[in-house]
Chains A and B, each alone.
Chain A
Amino acid sequence: MRHSNHGPVLTRMLGDTGSLIFVVVLIALTVAVPLCNVYLPEASALHVTDYTVALIGKYLTYALLAVAIDLIWGYCGILSLGHTAFFGLGGYAMGMYLMRQIGDRGVYGNPVLPDFMVFLDWEHLPWYWHGMDLFPFAMAMVVLVPGLLALVFGWLAFRSRVTGVYFAIITQAMTYALMLAFFRNEMGFGGNNGLTDFKDILGYELSADGIRNALFVASGVGLLLGFLIARFIVTSRLGRVLEAIRDAESRTRFTGYRVAYYKLWIFTVSAMLAGVAGALYVPQVGIINPSEFSPIASIEAVVWVAVGGRGTLYGAALGAGAVNFAKTWLTGAYPEIWPYALGILFVAVTLFLPKGIVGLVSQLRRRMRRKEPS
């Protein structure tokens, strides 16, 4: 990978062909899909149905999560098997805001308490629900809560040099513990059922066409910004240090860098990106429940990155899209086959495609180029 650390920021960030193509395609997608949904007649071959808009919107949020994972795994060698914990926390923060927006239109008609709290016979709103009815505050929480958890968790882990497999296992324990905790009704997050039955966002009805497209655009913009931030980081000097840590942690430490702080910093940023992805995910799907925290979901997200190609960022986004598209298609067409396919995919990618789809493409291109002169 060539690095151009000098020159204007934009050329630095988009100097890489893959990244440039990705950004262009992403912008085109973000603009075209809503337009095709609204302006093309339903009979048209290019018409995008409401369902597809929501589906691609969901893929975009997954892609953002994948970018967040690739940022730490691909560039700093930190494998987190608990990244959906941050995704879920961001989602819950958004869910809490949406829940408060229901107001007295719930089944029990309580203006303050969400339905499940009335059902549990609670009298007051728990302290952590206060302020969640304000959009800016809730959005701050979307970023701050996952960030804070990552900061504390990472500080404990990186300070004592928990690395590699051990780190993977304890992140898995973390998301598992969170899942168990959120399953408890006493936690005040709706237990098993999670948060759902949302009505409005910012005063607009969630099910309206305009809002669906707006959320789609927001996801596209979110992914674009997330990608650019990540790209900015990895092409900066800081990014070089991160790669040094990935390739030779001890040597970097002996060179005088405080490895733990670099790791902590990138881990926290990644968790915040994952939180934003979760927050964009919830209004489009309409529900958030504890199964989002399940360790399997985290591992699956890591596989998206591996399939797309580690350490390229756009590869991660591509992998998230491809695997989820395959999942939607296969679970619809052959529900029995999907787990087999996923299992084989895990094995095949690690054994035969260590650099993922992106690696495969560049390998093919190299082979073509070699053939051309002859």
Chain B
Amino acid sequence: MRTCTPRGTTAAAVLALLAVLALAPCALAQNNGQNEGQNTDSNASEATPATSESPAPANDATVESGRDAQASDEPGDTAEAQAGADGESEPGADTGEDEDSTEYAATIAELADASYPEKRDILNRLVANPNAHTPELLTAFADNRLVVRESDQRVFVAAEERDETYVLRDPITFEAAGKAATRDFEPVRTNVGLRGSIESGQAQLRLQAEDAETRLAAVETMTEKLDDAAADALRAHRPEENDDAVLEAIDRALAINDLNTGDNAAKLAAVERLSGDFNQMVYNRLNNILLLIPEDTEDRDQAQLRAAVAAEVERIDWWRGVYDQLETLFFGLSLGSILVLAGIGLAITFGVMGVINMAHGELIMLGAYTAFVMQQLLPGHVGLALVLAVPAAFVVSGLVGILIERSIVQWLYGRPLETLLATFGVSLFLQQLVRTVFTPLNRSVSAPEWMSGQLHFNDMFALTENRLVIVAFSLAVFAALILVMNRTSLGLKVRAVSQNRDMARAMGIRTQRLDALTFGLGSGVAGIAGVALSQLTNVGPNLGQAYIIDSFMVVVFGGVGNLWGTLVGGLSLGVLTKFLEPHTGAVLAKILMLIFLILFIQQRPRGLFPQKGRAAEGS
């Protein structure tokens, strides 16, 4: 009946209102006299279980109905459910439940004047014998929202409103229990330790969840705050568990529990069982033992345990070192593959054609914006939009590239410095164009599901899928480009023109058309790189600028005119940067790489893999 009471939160109010509208006739009929007295305490007692001594029969009905109809935590749902329940509830629940709930209510009532150890005990009892609202109750407890009314020592769940009033709820049924001034209440205090136990208790409740991942998370939370009750609960749950990962986590928790509380033999056995487990909690616990037992202990058992633990910690440390290096290598390859992607288009326009295209970064940016637009066009199909964005970006950037070549670059062949300036003008123009069309704000392109997870090898080593996908993608783009250059007639003609333009024309190749196509190919690849980059950074008008200098560095480092050089150059620069970073910090690593490149170019002006033969002479 209290459904009609206005609620604190707007959403709940709206839902409640809907419920009220739907049930208005019956609610009104039953509610007549009560609306006036809503805010007084006297009202609250009618529908709530009073004290442990005297459960009124009407209460049980309410508790029952609340429990049956109520599966979700939503206050709004509660309102609706209870509105329904109010309409149809009939006294007469079965007695077993009745006893349980009586005991449950009594346990809660004890909270009013319990000491911290007692509170912990109460908590364990509540968790051992929960009702549908226990998770909510524990949440309220952890948030310090449980209060005791000073006048009669009754416990409520309170939500503070403005003007120093509480909106009260019953701790058992979570039905609304009116409003009251805060000064009449005393909070049920918690401390850090108790909140830890509450968390563990909540986890224990979640052990029953349907979803294996929730159960796994629950076990992990419990492992962090292990006590006997939690260990018992895990032990009790173990036989019913059928998920391997959860079983493993339970075994780990039990072993850690043995490490904490068992005798020496049990501890040794636990160390044995935990061997090869790279979990962070295990590592912390083992290190803890090392700290607790002095190195020169007299006790032989202790010394033996210490030796076993020390060996295990050393082993984990060694593996950790290995995995750290592997991870750095992966990050390096991931950065390197981005550099390759950004540079590979330039390897064609600059490397093969000899055109300095300063607008290359902006062609990448256009690709990234194409991905953004595709996602706007296909709302709800994040992955599909991204896949379609790859050819779309190739076309968009490729066409823009051809336009640039036909309108500007073709008049400037053989004058690289002028080309550089003119294409830089194009880059400014494109940037401002994007700013005008899409606003200067950064846009984000969302990641599809198959790119947002982690590839989990073990607790120490996991690779993010989006980076894996991008590494694979850049290798695929590279392979496709190599095929085009080496196995198609377009590639053959491109190479012919870059080696000897006049002879190629004499053989009947239409060099002008080919120049446009080659430039378009390089630009299109830049667009594809933009789609990949949109998965790593925000898409903004300045996206391209961040990569232009890097791209040139990669191409020059690898050796102009050599696609393989770009691949090797990009990957090795990426790996080198990532291995420097832990020692120097990101910015300094970047500066050092630039200095390295400047010195490198001065030592080997033609890059890692210089082009040999007649083609190289002209440049």
**Chain B 578-600 interface residues, beta-carbon cutoff 8 Å to A:** 587-588, 590-591, 594-595, 597-599
**B602 beta carbon closer than 8 Å to chain A:** yes
Q: Which residues of the other chain, A, contact B424 by a CB distance below 8 angstroms?
A: 299, 303, 346
The digit string for A152-166, where 1 denotes a CB below 8 A from any CB of B, is: 010011011110111
**Chain A 330-374 interface residues, beta-carbon cutoff 8 Å to B:** 336, 339-340, 342-347, 349-351, 354
With A303-B421, A346-B428, A347-B425: A166-B556 Cβ-Cβ less than 8 Å: yes
**B426 beta carbon closer than 8 Å to chain A:** yes
**A176 beta carbon closer than 8 Å to chain B:** yes
Q: Return the contact of A350 from the options B412, B545, B599 (Cβ within 8 A).
A: B412
**Chain B 47-69 interface residues, beta-carbon cutoff 8 Å to A:** none
Name B599's closest neighbour in chain A (CB-CB): A156
**A34 to chain B: closest CB distance in Å?**
36
**A305 to chain B: closest CB distance in Å?**
10
Name B429's closest neighbour in chain A (CB-CB): A343
**A28 beta carbon closer than 8 Å to chain B:** no
With A180-B591, A183-B587, A350-B412: A161-B605 Cβ-Cβ less than 8 Å: yes
**B403 beta carbon closer than 8 Å to chain A:** no
The digit string for B253-265, where 1 denotes a CB below 8 A from any CB of A, is: 0000000000000
The residue among A172, A181, A347 with the most chain B CB atoms within 10 A of its own CB is A347
Q: Return the contact of B591 from the options A156, A177, A344, A347 (Cβ within 8 A).
A: A177
Q: Which residues of the other chain, A, contact B429 by a CB distance below 8 angstroms?
A: 339-340, 343-344, 347
Q: How far is the CA of A180 from the CA of B590 in the complex (A)?
A: 8
**A143 beta carbon closer than 8 Å to chain B:** no
The reply to whether A170 and B421 form a contact with Cβ atoms under 8 Å apart is no
Name A176's closest neighbour in chain B (CB-CB): B549
Interface size on A, residues (CB 8 A): 43
**B420 beta carbon closer than 8 Å to chain A:** yes
**B584 to chain A: closest CB distance in Å?**
11
The digit string for A63-79, where 1 denotes a CB below 8 A from any CB of B, is: 00000000000000001
The reply to whether B553 and A162 form a contact with Cβ atoms under 8 Å apart is no
Q: Which residues of the other chain, B, contact A38 by a CB distance below 8 angstroms?
A: none
The reply to whether A351 and B408 form a contact with Cβ atoms under 8 Å apart is yes
Q: How far is the CA of A86 from the CA of B421 in the complex (A)?
A: 20
Q: Which residues of the other chain, B, contact A351 by a CB distance below 8 angstroms?
A: 408, 411-412, 422
**Chain B 421-440 interface residues, beta-carbon cutoff 8 Å to A:** 421-422, 424-433, 435-436
**A327 to chain B: closest CB distance in Å?**
12
The reply to whether A168 and B588 form a contact with Cβ atoms under 8 Å apart is no
The reply to whether A162 and B602 form a contact with Cβ atoms under 8 Å apart is yes
Q: How far is the CA of A165 from the CA of B435 in the complex (A)?
A: 30
**Chain B 534-548 interface residues, beta-carbon cutoff 8 Å to A:** 545
The reply to whether A170 and B598 form a contact with Cβ atoms under 8 Å apart is yes
With A306-B421, A340-B432: A174-B591 Cβ-Cβ less than 8 Å: no
The reply to whether B549 and A295 form a contact with Cβ atoms under 8 Å apart is yes
Tell me what chain B mostly uses at the interface: helix, strand, loop, or mixed: helix
Q: Return the contact of B416 from the options A156, A164, A180 (Cβ within 8 A).
A: A164
The reply to whether B605 and A162 form a contact with Cβ atoms under 8 Å apart is yes
**B552 beta carbon closer than 8 Å to chain A:** yes
With A165-B420, A169-B556, A339-B429: A347-B408 Cβ-Cβ less than 8 Å: yes
The reply to whether A339 and B601 form a contact with Cβ atoms under 8 Å apart is no
Q: How large is the interface on B (under 10, 10 to 19, 20 to 34, 35 or more residues)?
A: 35 or more
With A177-B595, A350-B412: A342-B425 Cβ-Cβ less than 8 Å: yes
**A253 beta carbon closer than 8 Å to chain B:** no
A-B residue pair count with CB separations less than 8 angstroms: 116
**B424 to chain A: closest CB distance in Å?**
5
Name B595's closest neighbour in chain A (CB-CB): A177
The reply to whether A350 and B422 form a contact with Cβ atoms under 8 Å apart is yes
The residue among A169, A176, A306 with the most chain B CB atoms within 10 A of its own CB is A169
The reply to whether B356 and A342 form a contact with Cβ atoms under 8 Å apart is no
Q: Return the contact of B601 from the options A162, A347, A354 (Cβ within 8 A).
A: A162
Q: Which residues of the other chain, A, contact B588 by a CB distance below 8 angstroms?
A: 184
The reply to whether A343 and B601 form a contact with Cβ atoms under 8 Å apart is no
Q: Which residues of the other chain, A, contact B595 by a CB distance below 8 angstroms?
A: 177
The reply to whether B598 and A160 form a contact with Cβ atoms under 8 Å apart is no
The reply to whether B556 and A299 form a contact with Cβ atoms under 8 Å apart is no
The reply to whether B587 and A184 form a contact with Cβ atoms under 8 Å apart is yes
Name A348's closest neighbour in chain B (CB-CB): B425
The reply to whether B428 and A342 form a contact with Cβ atoms under 8 Å apart is yes
The residue among A160, A173, A180, A340 with the most chain B CB atoms within 10 A of its own CB is A173
The reply to whether A165 and B417 form a contact with Cβ atoms under 8 Å apart is yes
Q: How far is the CA of A89 from the CA of B429 in the complex (A)?
A: 30
Q: Return the contact of B605 from the options A160, A172, A302, A306 (Cβ within 8 A).
A: A160
**Chain A 263-289 interface residues, beta-carbon cutoff 8 Å to B:** none
The reply to whether A299 and B421 form a contact with Cβ atoms under 8 Å apart is yes
With A166-B601, A173-B553, A184-B588: A347-B420 Cβ-Cβ less than 8 Å: no
The digit string for B518-539, where 1 denotes a CB below 8 A from any CB of A, is: 0000000000000000000000
**B349 to chain A: closest CB distance in Å?**
13
Q: Which residues of the other chain, B, contact A354 by a CB distance below 8 angstroms?
A: 418
The reply to whether B549 and A172 form a contact with Cβ atoms under 8 Å apart is yes
Q: How far is the CA of A256 from the CA of B604 in the complex (A)?
A: 25
**B32 beta carbon closer than 8 Å to chain A:** no
**Chain B 139-195 interface residues, beta-carbon cutoff 8 Å to A:** none
**A118 to chain B: closest CB distance in Å?**
23
The reply to whether A166 and B420 form a contact with Cβ atoms under 8 Å apart is no
Q: Which residues of the other chain, A, contact B408 by a CB distance below 8 angstroms?
A: 347, 351
**Chain A 79-99 interface residues, beta-carbon cutoff 8 Å to B:** 79, 81
The digit string for A297-331, where 1 denotes a CB below 8 A from any CB of B, is: 00100110010000000000000000000000000
With A169-B556, A173-B598, A303-B421: A347-B426 Cβ-Cβ less than 8 Å: yes
Q: Which residues of the other chain, A, contact B433 by a CB distance below 8 angstroms?
A: 340
Q: Which residues of the other chain, B, contact A176 by a CB distance below 8 angstroms?
A: 549, 594
Q: What 3 A-B pairs have minimum CB-CB distances, sorted nearest first?
A: A346-B425, A343-B429, A339-B432
28 intermolecular pairs with C-beta atoms under 8 Å apart: A79-B417, A79-B420, A156-B598, A160-B605, A165-B416, A165-B417, A166-B556, A168-B356, A168-B417, A170-B602, A173-B553, A173-B597, A176-B594, A177-B598, A181-B591, A183-B587, A184-B587, A299-B424, A336-B432, A342-B425, A343-B425, A343-B429, A344-B425, A346-B422, A346-B424, A350-B421, A351-B412, A351-B422
Interfacial residues, chain A to chain B (CB-CB below 8 A): 79, 81, 153, 156-157, 159-162, 164-166, 168-170, 172-174, 176-177, 180-181, 183-184, 295-296, 299, 302-303, 306, 336, 339-340, 342-347, 349-351, 354
Interfacial residues, chain B to chain A (CB-CB below 8 A): 356, 358, 408, 411-412, 416-422, 424-433, 435-436, 545, 549, 552-553, 556, 587-588, 590-591, 594-595, 597-599, 601-603, 605
Given contacts A79-B420, A170-B597, 18 further A-B contacts (CB under 8 A): A156-B599, A156-B602, A160-B603, A166-B601, A172-B552, A173-B553, A173-B597, A174-B598, A177-B591, A177-B594, A183-B587, A340-B433, A342-B428, A343-B426, A343-B429, A344-B425, A350-B421, A351-B408
